[in-house]
C-alpha cells in the first residue's frame, strides 16, 4: 500500500517537473504522449474487462483531446489548425462511441491517427534543433 502511494507521488512529481520547464512545443509532445498512453491503458482495461479503469483512462484521453483542441491558434495556424480541429473533433466523437461500445478497434483507430500526428510533431522539433 505505502509502496504504491510512493510510486504515485514520484510519478506526479516527475510529471509536474516535465510540464513546469516545458516550452509550448514540448507541452504538446507531453500531451500527445499522455493521450496515447491513456488509450493504451484503456485498451488494457477493456481486455481485462475492468470497466472502472476503462472509464478512468478514456476520461483522461478525452480531457487531453479537449486541451489539444482548445489550444489551437487558428489565427497563426490557418489550414493546419483547422485540420487539427477536425481531427480532434473526430477523435472525441470516436472515443465516445468506443466507450459506449467498449470497442478496442475504435480506440486503436484513434490511437493510430493521433500517433501519426505525434510523430510529425516530434519531427518538427527535431528539425528545429
Residue 118 phi/psi, 5-degree rounding, is: -60, -45
Residue 82 pLDDT: 95
Collapsing DSSP to helix, strand or coil, 50 comes out as: coil
Collapsing DSSP to helix, strand or coil, 104 comes out as: helix
pTM for the complete prediction? 0.81
Residue 23 pLDDT: 79
Neighbours of 123 (CB within 10 A): 10
Which CATH superfamily does the domain covering 25-128 fall into? Flagellar protein FliS (1.20.120.340)
Residue 128 pLDDT: 55
Ranges of each domain in the chain:
25-128
Whether the Cβ atoms of residue 95 and residue 24 lie closer than 8 Å to each other = no
Query: Angle CA(90)–CA(61)–CA(15) in degrees, nearest 5?
Result: 140
Query: Angle CA(45)–CA(42)–CA(52) in degrees, nearest 5?
Result: 55
Question: How confident is the model over 77-110, as pLDDT tens digits?
Answer: 899 999 999 999 999 999 999 999 999 999 999 9
Question: How confident is the model over 4-35, as pLDDT tens digits?
Answer: 543 444 444 344 444 555 678 889 999 999 99
Residue 126 pLDDT: 57
**Residues contacting residue 1 through CB under 8 Å, at least 6 positions apart:** none
Amino acid at each position: 500500500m505505502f509502496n504504491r502511494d510512493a510510486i504515485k507521488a514520484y510519478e506526479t512529481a516527475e510529471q509536474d517537473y516535465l510540464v513546469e520547464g516545458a516550452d509550448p512545443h514540448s507541452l504538446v509532445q507531453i500531451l500527445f504522449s499522455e493521450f496515447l498512453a491513456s488509450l493504451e491503458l484503456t485498451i488494457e482495461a477493456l481486455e481485462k474487462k475492468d470497466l472502472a479503469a476503462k472509464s478512468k483512462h478514456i476520461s483522461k484521453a478525452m480531457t487531453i483531446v479537449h486541451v489539444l483542441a482548445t489550444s489551437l491558434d487558428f489565427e497563426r495556424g490557418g489550414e493546419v489548425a483547422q485540420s487539427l480541429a477536425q481531427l480532434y473533433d473526430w477523435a472525441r466523437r470516436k472515443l465516445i462511441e468506443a466507450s459506449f461500445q467498449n470497442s478496442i478497434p475504435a480506440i486503436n483507430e484513434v490511437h493510430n491517427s493521433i500517433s501519426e500526428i505525434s510523430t510529425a510533431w516530434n519531427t518538427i522539433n527535431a528539425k528545429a534543433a
